[in-house]
Amino acid sequence: MSIAPNSQFVFVGSKIKKLTFTNPFINLPANAKYTVEVDYSVDSFTKDENGYRGIITLNVKMKIRHKRNISSLSIDLEGCFDLSDDSIADDIFEKMLQLNGVTMLYSIARSIIQSITSQSFLDGSVALPMINVVSLYDSKKQDEVIKYKKG
């Protein structure tokens, strides 16, 4: 019997801070092109005798283009994370927050966007691509926004 290692890095919860969606399409055009921009910010970072707490906001912007029509969706998703080990360095927790936290929030955002688009188009939905969170983290050091394109 094997036991999975438990992490002291805990996802407390998330909330949608802001969601905007405009859609001129009835069906999702098969040959539509879309772009996705992903960015995030560390909103708060605290440490006390119980460990760390961090709050980050993930921003995902998606545009679907077909001919002259554009459908757009933007979501700001806030997540709260705790770490019950106060013996690690601040920069290690902040890196965990950015890498693990963004990974968790992006998977939630993908699910929300797929659900919204499946209910908004008569036929079809948008499944956002997986992203390289390490590249996103590295680009944040250089103050860049990561953009993904399909089509």
- The per-residue pLDDT for range 63-102, each reduced to its tens digit, is 998 888 899 999 999 999 999 887 788 889 999 999 999 9
The vertex-117 CA angle with 81 and 100, nearest 5°, equals 20
CATH fold for the domain made of 9-145: Bacterial Protein-export protein SecB (3.10.420)
E-strand spans in 7-137? Answer: 9-22, 33-48, 51-66, 69-83
d(CA 11, CA 121): 32
Question: Which pLDDT value is given to residue 145?
Answer: 58
Residue of 8, 116, 6 lying closest to 60 (CA atoms): 116
Cβ atoms of 10 and 83 within 8 Å: the answer is yes
Cβ atoms of 8 and 45 within 8 Å: the answer is no
d(CA 12, CA 84): 12
Question: Which pLDDT value is given to residue 7?
Answer: 74
Report mean pLDDT in 10-residue bins for the chain, 151 residues: 68 97 86 91 90 96 91 97 86 92 97 93 87 90 63 52
Tokens found for residue 30: 């098969």
Domain ranges within the chain, ordered by starting residue: 9-145
